[in-house]
Amino acid sequence: MGSLINSDVTEGCDFKPLDPEEFRKQAHQMVDFIADYYQKIESYPVLSQVQPGYLHSRLPETPPDEPESFEKILKDIEKDIIPGITHWLSPNFFAFFPATVSTAAFVGEMLCTCFNSVGFNWLASPAATELEMVVMDWLANMLKLPQTFMFSGGGTAGGGGVIQNTTSEAVLVTLIAARDQLLDVIGVESICKLVVYGSDQTHSTFTKACKLAGIDACNIRSIPTTIESGFSLSPSIFRKVVEADVAAGLVPLYLCATVGTTSTTAVDPVDPLAKVANDYGIWIHVDAAYAGSACICPEFRHYLNGIDQVHSLSLSPHKWLLSYLDCCCLWVKDSSSLVRALNTQPEYLRNKPSESNEVVDYKDWQVGTGRRFKSLRLWLILRSYGVVNLQRHIRSDVNMAKMFEGFIRLDPRFELVVPRQFSLVCFRINPKSHYGSNYIDMLNRKLLEWINSTGRIYLTHTIVGGVYLLRFAVGATLCEERHVVAAWKLIKDGADALLKRSEE
């Protein structure tokens, strides 16, 4: 706030929300607080043990009228907030997929917050737009994406990348681009004929995006997969489903293929699926939220074979490329379809560079208008670590998952439900006896409940093909081999106790 000289309103007021010296002091204190937190993170239960509503009773009904000291606030974070945290950064967090972080991304985030630039168009902060373009091309290079997905491959109307918040938005904006492009041809009244495709393993966000995009719920095809095919989408079944839709007078619009499904990291075969889809003019999006990051290593790149034939690809560095939440990278071949669908030109945003068509205005590539300078995080990651260390990081996680997979193989009471492909191990206890499948499910539920109640590690489950299984997702940034070894010992102890009890 500026000082209004001679104003009664400011009498006795010395309120400076951004005093650089005060900032320096508090921010240093906060950095120490954070470093201490990271150092002692293992001492907290991984899964928060509080009950619903715990915080309401601990905090006052109204905010303070007068300022409180920073020291007091820090104490309350320890006392009231930390107990309600599920510690995603704990090395003993093996649930869902990890949310990976790094010093480089953190300091990049500090800088992003520092500038607080609201880079909706090029002029609003040229560096914010241009660094994002550079970083998205760098990442595209690391993934060996074809030139058609890069800015360097063609200028502002062709291919390029953009940072979205999450996969949900990446799917939504590409779906809307595909929808409008097709409706331009067949007429907007045909919207109820549009059909979209995924498998029964496609992330739930796809259905949500379809709802938001006005796709008739009856026209969302969730094509069944099987355990025999590793839960990946079969191109021949996909073709049959599309043919039936066409025969029924419907219009195929969009396929969401997944590289690394959320339940089991199944991989839909991009190349043959794209061949089918392209026969019908279907927009193909590849959702590689988690596993896409692994494709920076040559030994995993083959999972993206056929990517030259798709329209868009997204992956989330907040899952596996150390970037902190949120950061979802989306590449499209034809950015003009996105821009046609999403651009707005209010008078107050008009400016010469935008009208020259020589610049990218990222507001036209996303849902919102305002956007943060998130490319700083990725830029710092890429520069501070180099491709070599990022590849090491992926491989180290995969190797730890392999080690865990080995433990499962050696214990006859356990089994792998599907082969491991990345750093997720899908397993269950199955003491091969006369027990029925309901009983086995129940044993696994009990085992999971017991494991998580100890607070020492955190795992989650899924059900695929009717099978209840436990997911061991390696890759929390602080995780080392010893944590995986200790986790396995805990799981074994749980199994010992459970099986002993069930035999009594």
By CB under 6 A, tell whether 328 contacts ligand PLP. yes
Closest CA to 371 of 380, 379, 381, 363: 363
Q: Is residue 421 within the footprint of ligand PLP (CB under 6 A)?
A: no
Between 234 and 261, name the residue whose CB sits nearer to ligand PLP: 261
Is 260 strand, coil or helix?
coil
* CA-wise closest residue to 331 among 147, 86, 96: 147
Pick the binder of ligand PLP from 92, 129, 262, 423 (CB under 6 A).
262
Query: Mask of contacts with ligand PLP, 155-194, x by CB under 6 A?
Result: -----------xxx--------------------------
- What is the spatial distance between Cα 262 and Cα 288, in angstroms, rounded to a whole number? 10
Here's the x/- map for ligand PLP, 195-224, by CB under 6 A: it reads as --------x-x-------------------
Question: Using CB atoms, what's the residue nearest to ligand PLP?
Answer: 166
Q: Which of 258, 255, 303 is nearest to 143 (CA)?
A: 303
Q: Which positions from 273 through 292 interact with ligand PLP, judged by CB under 6 A?
A: 287, 289-290
CB of 259 to ligand PLP, least distance (A): 8
Q: Please name every residue paired with 471 in a beta bridge, in sequence order, or none if there are none.
A: 426, 460
Q: Label the pairing between strands 220-223 and 251-258.
A: unpaired
- Count helices and strands in the chain by DSSP H and E runs: 14, 11
Instruction: Please name the helix (run of DSSP H) or strand (run of DSSP E) that holds residue 162, with its range, or none.
Output: strand 160-164
| CB closer to ligand PLP, 121 vs 199 | 199
- Which residue in 181, 199, 261, 335 binds ligand PLP (CB under 6 A)? 261
Q: Which residue lies nearer to ligand PLP by CB, 193 or 420?
A: 420
Nearer to ligand PLP by Cβ, of 124 and 394: the residue is 394
- How many residues in the shown chain lie near ligand PLP by CB under 6 A? 15
If binding is defined by CB under 6 A, does position 88 make contact with ligand PLP? no
| For ligand PLP, the closer CB: 170 or 390 | 170
Q: How far is the CB of 260 from ligand PLP (least distance, A)?
A: 6
Minimum distance from residue 330 beta carbon to ligand PLP (Å): 10
Contact of 98 with 476, CB cutoff 8 Å = yes
- Part of the chain binding ligand PLP (CB under 6 A), chosen from 83-91, 254-262, 334-342, 385-393: 254-262
How many Å apart are CA 320 and CA 308, to the nearest integer? 23
Residue with smaller CB distance to ligand PLP, 183 or 255: 255
Q: Of 300-319, which residues contact ligand PLP (CB under 6 A)?
A: 316
The single residue listed with the structure tokens 């009983």 is 439
Q: Which of 253, 269, 251, 268 has its CA nearest to residue 203?
A: 268
Residue that is written with structure tokens 């596996």 in the block:
320
Token pair, residue 9, equals: 């309103």
459 closest CA partner among 92, 61, 124, 172: 92
* Share in percent of the chain as helix, strand, coil (round to 5): 50, 10, 35
Instruction: Please name the residue ranges forming H helices in 41-93.
Output: 70-76
Give the per-residue contact string, 436-475, with ligand PLP (x = CB under 6 A; - = no). Answer: ----------------------------------------
Would you tell me which residues interact with ligand PLP (CB under 6 A)? Answer: 97, 166-168, 203, 205, 258, 260-262, 287, 289-290, 316, 328
